[in-house]
Amino acid sequence: MTFAKSFNCYIVKMKRWPWLGYFFVFALGFIIFIYILIPPGIIGPDSFYHTKMALMIKEQGLIKSFPWTQFTTYKNLFVDHHFGYHYLLIPFLSLPSPQNLDPLSLEIDQLIKAKLGTAFFAALVFVMIYWFLKRFKIKSALLWTLLAYLLAPFLLRLSLTRAPAISLIILILGFYFIIKKKYMLLFLLSFIYVWTYGAWPLMLVTVIIYALASAAQKWMDQKQDVKNQISKIKNRNQKLKIKNTNKIYKNIFTFLRFYLLSFIFNLLSLIRHFFIKTNVKLLASCITGLLAGLIINPYFPKTLPFYWFQTIKIAIINYSNKIGVGAEWYPFDPSLLIIALLPLLIFWVIAMAWFITNIKKQNTTTWFFTLLSVFFLLYSYKAQRNIEYFIPPALFLSTFTFGQMRTYINWATIGKNLKKYYTGSDNIFYFLCFIFFIVFIGFFIIFYLNFSIVRLHTQYKEKRPINQFQMAAHWLKNNTQKGEIIFQSDWDIFPQLFYFNAHNYYINGLDQTFMYEYDKELYTAWHNIVSGKTSPQDIPQTISEKFNASYVFIDKKQDKIFYNVLKKSPQFKKTYEDYESIIYKIP
């Protein structure tokens, strides 16, 4: 009873002092992500890269060239498409460190500070979701916001020391500016998006989808008139059909011609509604903001060819069927995705069913979030790294449609029926059903809290340690010439090596597409070497002549084939080894 009173008191205070709700959402989110990130491990290796880039910008200023991946397009066409995010990390990396830390511990300390920044930005995403719902006066906004904590893929993406959290904050703001027709703010936000993260084309996609939603809603308003006209023609044809069979063919032809003309008319009407004044202003605000971000940019004019490559060749075309790209670029297993997102999908499917069955009553906002959530769900199926963009639109659609459903429910009748059931002869049965339902919901929530938060915490414990390759990287730093190229056994170990040792250069990293596009033959040569397809006798000469490298770095646990080849080869001299890596030198 005391807990219930305390909770009710807190709800009353939240209504009286709205800032308490925002404080609660942020504090809860920050604590949850600190719990997730506190183990000394890192799931995404790109976290090393982003932390290092932020540190280098802090010490040297903006990084204009990137020689650390010698055989990729980054060598000649580099744009830091996260530089806004890297600047946002700097305040966290500037926090004071414990005294008397040795250089190795200081490197780990910076990664911990980056985790602190990650927890901060992730919590802000939930604050933005709550803010958006409150701005539209959604009932039970806090409960809808808390629902997102049950979604494991969402929490996983937000827990990475990468830009998705910032990207989501910008997009949610974009949703609001688009719906409320804040043209200048949309222009400024689009400009900032380009400087912050390479996913900025999503802002344009969002505006286009809103224009489509607006056009579809207006088209639906006219559809009833068209149906009435068709009904009249059907009735006339029915009469003619009885009178004269020779006229049937002519009238069927007229009927089909009318349908064709009707289709063209509806299409033209849709296009006309798409280009109404407000939509054109939204599109113009977004496009000019994005163009300004590309042109008024420290990397201009490289931004134009770089983003063509990044957006078209990596994000859309993607070479996952030709080369081994990161796991995030492959689609989800549909069954696993359904299980992971079930707490939200239940509401989203109901919302979609309500939308379809009451499509004539829908406004532009529900049209917008319906189309947007479907788009991002399909986009996530193509590449699982996009799943975080599905969650907010699906959640917002659910809140808006459930708000509509509330107005159609006769609560007085429901109350009378419940009272009748509980006071009737079968009241014990209904009471037990109610208790069973409450217990089921409790177990459901506990299961998904464990599945999302606790399981993710465990994953950070079991994944790569935060100091992976630190000792080996420092050995290379102390025993090789500055700028000397290191032949590494895999592209995805580059971020760790780069973070702990920017003294040396490497073969490739971040995405294999960069090397594949740089030189396909060179990529094939590298891939054949590390996968054990090249003859052991030819490996030393190929590495020395084609890659200009004399040291080979191998991840013993991940690249066992290459490790076993070199271990048996007398042409390589082992110069360093620990439990996770080994370094060979070509004499």
What's the mean per-residue pLDDT of the chain? Answer: 86
Q: Where are the domains of the chain?
A: 470-585
Distance of alpha carbon 217 from alpha carbon 220, whole angstroms:
5
* Local structure of 573: helix, strand or coil: strand
pLDDT band at 229 (very low <50, low <70, confident <90, very high): low
DSSP string, 213-254: HHHHHHHHHHHHHHHHHHHHHHHHHHHHHHH-THHHHHHHHH
Question: What's the pLDDT score for residue 481?
Answer: 93
Burial 108-135 (b: 16+ CB within 10 A, else e): bebbbbbbbbbbbbbbbbbbbbbbbbee
Question: What's the pLDDT score for residue 559?
Answer: 87
**Calculated CA dihedral for residues 384, 386, 391, 394, nearest 10 degrees:** -100
* Local structure of 18: helix, strand or coil: coil
Question: What's the pLDDT score for residue 384?
Answer: 83
CB atoms within 10 A of CB 106: 11
* Range name among 32-41, 85-94, 254-263 with the lowest pLDDT average: 254-263
Give the mean pLDDT of 518-527: 92
Sheet order of strands, 573-577 included? 505-506, 485-488, 551-555, 581-585, 573-577
423 compared with 527, residue with greater pLDDT: 527
Phi/psi at 230 (5° precision): -65, -40
pLDDT tens digit string along 317-373?
A: 777 667 776 667 777 788 888 998 999 999 999 999 999 998 888 899 999 999 999
pLDDT tens digit string along 236-255?
A: 555 545 444 444 445 666 66
- 444: buried, middle or exposed (CB in 10 Å: 19+, 13-18, 0-12)? middle
pLDDT tens digit string along 450-473?
A: 888 999 999 898 888 999 999 999
Question: What's the pLDDT score for residue 118?
Answer: 96
* Local structure of 585: helix, strand or coil: strand
Determine the angle formed by the axes of helices 342-357 and 391-408, rounding to 10 degrees.
Answer: 50
Length reported for the chain: 587
Question: What's the pLDDT score for residue 316?
Answer: 74
pLDDT tens digit string along 416-442?
A: 666 666 665 556 666 677 677 788 788
Distance of alpha carbon 268 from alpha carbon 468, whole angstroms:
59
Question: What's the pLDDT score for residue 242?
Answer: 45
pLDDT tens digit string along 304-332?
A: 999 988 888 777 777 766 777 666 777 77
Question: What's the pLDDT score for residue 246?
Answer: 47
Q: How far is CA 203 from the centre of its chain?
A: 13
Distance of alpha carbon 134 from alpha carbon 172, whole angstroms:
13
